[in-house]
Structure 1
Amino acid sequence: MPVARIVASYSENDKDTITLLCGVDEENQIRQGEWFGVVKNDDGRGDESNYPFTLHVDYQKNSFYLDYGFDDAESRQMQKTDIHAKPLAEKGFFTIFDEEEGEEFSYRINSIHLYD
């Protein structure tokens, strides 16, 4: 199974990025499983923040989300995504949905590196 390293930039700030390691099939679709990544937010003032996450991909349950873990004892931080909806392609887009805040974040895929 090939593994892909995907680097994508937030559509409103190229310095805000997501790096994701995931398995892909022969059509460049993300395989079912749990995959690791990090969101990097850069406000341009040298105050960069990194947020590791696990991407959960479950086609049988129609469940696709980023899990950032717990930010306190009561609140697990999760965001849905549509990254699974089409084959991965450079210059392609995907969206992360923050239902708690009522926001959507579009990311443009800058690069895909495949490893066997």
Structure 2
Amino acid sequence: MTAHTNHQIIKNRSGAPEYVLVPFEEYLQLTKQSKINLAEGVPSQVVNLMFDKDITPARAWREYLQLTQEECARKLRISQAAYSQLETSNNPRKTTRNKLATALGINPEQLDC
């Protein structure tokens, strides 16, 4: 015995399915699915860079944002070499993490991957 789904399929002129009508309550449930908040979350591309290339979160974010080390160093008013050292730290201190986040334009918590 099959369950009644209460869906209506609307086909285009060539007969292929184009739309599905669903009950409003079901639509509400489908649209309540969680969404990534980019102000707080970490894009999958950043995570992939970290795991695929085995790089630090700071470098993954910089590459994702398409920034150079020089651009970030300029924002922090330090040399590119000094920025490179900050970026390669696996466990930066809180103040360092805050500086890196400032240079990248993200929240410091986003570097805690």
Query: TM-score, structure 2 length as denominator?
Result: 0.23
Tell which structure's C-alpha radius of gyration is larger: 2
Which structure is richer in relative contact order (CA contacts within 8 A, separation 6 or more)? 1
Q: Decide which structure has greater helix share.
A: 2
